[in-house]
Structure 1
Amino acid sequence: MNMNERYQTRGSDLILTLLLFCCALFVVSSVYVTTPLTSQFSEIFHVEPSVAAWPTSIFSVFYAIGFLIFGPLSDRFGRKPIILFGLCCLTAVSISIGFIDDFLLFVLLRGLQGLVAATFAPSALAYVYDVFPTTKIATVIGFISFGFVTAGIFGQVVAGIINQTFDWQKIFLIFGGLYFSCAIAVYFFLYENRTEAKSMIIKDYFLTVKRIFTDKNLLICYLITMMLLLTFIGMYTILGAYLSSSPFYLSDKEILTIRAVGVIGMILSLLAGSLIKRYGLLLVFRTGLFMSVVGLVAVGMATNLVVIALMSIFYVAGISITFPAIMLLVGNFGGKERAMAASFYAFILFIGATLGPLLSIWLMHHGSYFITLIVLAALMAIGLTASFFIDEKEEARF
């Protein structure tokens, strides 16, 4: 009995799915743990607020760069070794941050942390295609996607609770412990497909990049990818400012509650696999995009607080089923180069996340809350329109 047969007979699908979900949740949370601490960093290290944001900004920059590095490396060395390497490095860097009090060193280590955190996403997507049977891929991707989208709230909330109870260094010590636990679990439970590694020279790399960026379907997916976190983070960036002013005048705690209810919509990503099997990949994908467009318009037009909260849930629900669907499409169209295709997907996704707040704040400054939400909805509508030009044949795979 070979390794793959043993894997199947052990019935480890659920264990692996939960493990990949936990890794996704904890790794991506590292993006957000410093977000609620910017003002505190300004006081502790005696720097301007704009400088205090560097630990978050440098993480984001190196996180995006890392996607372009570790996708190809997972093709060369295998998915499990790259995931394990990343978790071990995250453990070491996170624990190191927990013992420092120099701001410059803190910023440098956050950059390194962002770089190694990028090992997970492209490797995990390719791993799912390598190991899981076709009938279970959609469900597993749904769980991983749920980990990604909930990390934004989980990372900030957990960091805030730890910081209020202990101090900011303990955040990194605790997360370092979580990464170490994940590394141990990956070592013992993640099945390794030893036939997956392959050699790659520079010429092969550029030929693969050329194939990816001449594939019409992947280009459409990347266009839509740019819109996802751009609108998601953009909407939540201005929502707080809107709710804190007339006619609502909500407190920070009340605004956090409105944002947190969006988690209800995120749960839909766990059902993405079942929905895709029943209705088809592209139909679910387009439905998610349509819900996102309608949700953004409704949030922009609503003047009642309850309606705003409900429509934000509706919008997040649309985004939450769009994410696993587009990850499946990128994996399908990427074929043997899906790890590199996933790398570009993650890179573009995070570029959108970076542009979202900038665009939304600019629109708010030169227009209004309503105009900003309508523009974001229009961008999502462009993505929805583009989705109808995707090749229909891939829908049959699930």
Structure 2
Amino acid sequence: MASAASADRSRHAPAVPTAAVLGLTALLATSQLYGMIPLLGPAAAGWRTGAASLTWLVSAFGFGYAVGFLLFGPLSDRFGRRRVIVAGIAATAVTTGLVAAAPGPHAALALRVLQGLTTGAFPPVAMAYIAERVAPRHRLTTVTLLTTGFLSAAVVGQLVAQGLAAALGWRAFFAAGAAAFALLAAALARVLLPDEPRAGGSPLDAYRAMPPLLVRRDLLPLYLTTTTVLAAFVAIYTGLQLTGTTGLLELRASALPVILAVPFLASRLSRVPAPARLAPALAAAAAGVALVGLLHPGTLGLALLLMLVTAGIAVAVPTLIDTIGSRAGAARAPAVSLYSALLFAGASLGPQIAGALAAHGLAALGFALSALLAAGAAVPLVRPRTARTARSGRSGRRSRP
């Protein structure tokens, strides 16, 4: 019995260092998406182009990130979680350094796609690693720290980027990021447990499972909603940057307390069924961006409204994961991978929405984003007609005299 307990402990990762290094990596990884938003102006000035034309540098990373989610999750089933995570973060140190050295917008665009792709090796594989190698009593805490890192990157990434750009120029954010990724790759290699032997299944099996999930009647509405969530969130912050809104440092910082508070309210929120949480959360975010456009508030009012938007988004993101995962059943892993990819594909559309509407002012952007979020809240409430319902209807019609 003692030897069995010892063997079981050897399979479990050390709780504190694992949670710390995974949480820091999550924060740094997703900061590479949001950090580009405050750098649009400085980069445009350096390259003598318009800031709106550089919104593709935000989108390019997001698209690469989304593809990385789909690509590396199944590959880690074959080659091992630790191997894929460490290799992906080490590669990201290189691609992030290349972005810092980009000679012009076109090169930067290609490099941002590549940077997003390599960074995408981390999130889905880290979640799988936690499920397999972290002891059950530490699992919830570790997942909470990981997701808090992902969510807080929306604020921390922008604040750090804005500060470094003001002091050292916009390239400093990526140069510092490259050094940080290199250090984290070494830390991950030291902390993560060696990969266990794995069966030689083909990753193609996981890839083949994904397309049918996209057309399942119980999942399709949720996937459509998923694309709206970060699209609106990224668009409002990009719009604030493009319209020259004052007090951006304070506005970005105001959302951080909300992001940090939501994970600690998870136990209370979980008492409410996931579908009942989703629509009110997105409706609150929709109301927030609509009021931004309607009221044209000052810095304090805008900060309060952005806190409302952030709270709605921060509740909606894990709620969608819960709902999709529970409906997918045995296909949970590919279903959640698809969710993550669509979430960040939507985030990639946000800068383009902002770029198209910012010239018309925050009112036009706020109303458009409100409509987008309201549609996202309404789509899951529409119940598709199931096959059983259709057959019942046909049977009823045939029984009529």
- When normalised by structure 1's length, the TM-score is 0.78
Q: Which residue of 2 aligns with 1:326?
A: 320
Question: Does the C-alpha gap of structure 1 residues 79 and 238 become closer, same or farther in structure 2, counting only changes over 3 Å?
Answer: same
Q: Which amino acid aligns with 2:281?
A: G
1:231 touches 1:380 (CA, 8 Å); kept in 2? yes
Query: Residue 228 and residue 106 in structure 1: after superposition, are their counterparts in 2 closer, same or farther (change >3 A)?
Result: closer
- Cross-structure match for 1:379: 372
Kindly provide the amino acid, as one letter, of the partner of residue 292 in structure 1.
Answer: A
Counterpart CA distance in 1 for 2:60 and 2:270 is: 40
The match for 1:352 is 346
Asked whether the 8 Å contact 2:55–2:351 carries over to 1, the reply is no
Q: Distance in 2 between matches of 1:55 and 1:158?
A: 18
Question: Aligned pair in 2 of structure 1 residues 215, 151: CA closer, same or farther (>3 Å)?
Answer: same
Tell me if structure 1 keeps the 8 A contact 2:62–2:345.
Answer: no
Q: Tell me, in whole angstroms, the C-alpha distance in 1 between the residues paired with 2:265 and 2:195.
A: 26
Distance 2:44 2:98 in 1: 21
Change (3 A) 1:32 1:318: closer
**Pairs within 5 Å for 1:259-338:** 259-305=252-298, 306-335=300-329, 337-338=331-332
Classify 1:46/1:387 alpha carbon distance in 2 versus 1 (closer, same or farther; 3 Å). Answer: closer
Q: For residue 77 of structure 1, what is the aligned residue in structure 2?
A: 79
When residues 62 and 8 of structure 1 are mapped into structure 2, their CA distance, relative to the original with a 3 A threshold, is closer
Partner of 2:189: 187
Given that residues 92 and 181 in structure 2 are in contact (C-alpha distance below 8 angstroms), is that contact kept between their aligned partners in structure 1? yes
Match 1:340 to one of 317, 334, 343: 334
**2:312 is matched by which residue type in structure 1?**
G
1:49-99, Cα deviation, whole Å (9 max, x unpaired): 56766654543343333233222212322333221111111123334555x
Residue range with higher mean Cα deviation, 83-92 or 56-65: 56-65
- Any conservation in 2 of the 1:142–1:273 contact (CA below 8 Å)? no
Equivalent positions of 1:57-136 (< 5 A) are: 57-96=59-98, 100=101, 102-103=103-104, 106-132=108-134
Partner-residue secondary structure (3-state), 1:322: helix
Letter in 2 for 1:182: L
| Count of equivalent residues | 379
CA spacing shift, 1:115–1:298, aligned 2, 3 Å: same
How many angstroms does 1:371 deviate by?
5.5
Segments of structure 2 that go 5 or more residues without pairing to the other structure are 384-401
In 2: Cα distance, 1:147 partner to 1:93 partner: 21
Which of 248, 267, 283 is the matching residue for 1:255? 248
Distance change >3 Å, CA 51–CA 276, structure 1 → 2: closer
Q: Is 1:6 paired with 2:3?
A: no
Task: Give 1:125 deviation, angstroms.
Answer: 2.9
Query: Could you tell me how far apart the structure 2 residues matched to 1:205 and 1:182 are?
Result: 28
Offset of 1:163 from its aligned partner? 3.6
> Is 1:21 aligned to residue 23 of structure 2?
yes
TM-score by length of 2: 0.78
Comparing 255-264 and 43-52, the one that deviates more: 43-52
User: Quick check: 37-46 or 13-22, which moved more?
Assistant: 37-46
Partners of 2:353 and 2:305 lie apart in 1 by 22
Deviation of the 1:363 alpha carbon: 5.2
Relative to structure 2, which stretch is displaced further, 218-227 or 276-285?
A: 276-285
Deviations 1:139-198 (A, max 9, x none): 544433322222233223223333443454443332222212322332232346636665
Q: Higher Cα Rg: structure 1 or 2?
A: 2
Say whether the 8 Å CA contact 1:143–1:269 is kept in structure 2: no
Deviations 1:301-349 (A, max 9, x none): 4354333322221221121122222233344445554443333223212
Distance 2:327 2:180 in 1: 34
Distance 1:290 1:311, change over 3 A: same
When residues 258 and 294 of structure 1 are mapped into structure 2, their CA distance, relative to the original with a 3 A threshold, is same
Counterparts of residues 193-272 of structure 1 (less than 5 Å):
194=196, 199-200=201-202, 202=204, 204-205=205-206, 207-239=208-240, 251=246, 254-272=247-265
* Percent of residue pairs bearing the same amino acid type: 26
SS in 2 for 1:228: helix
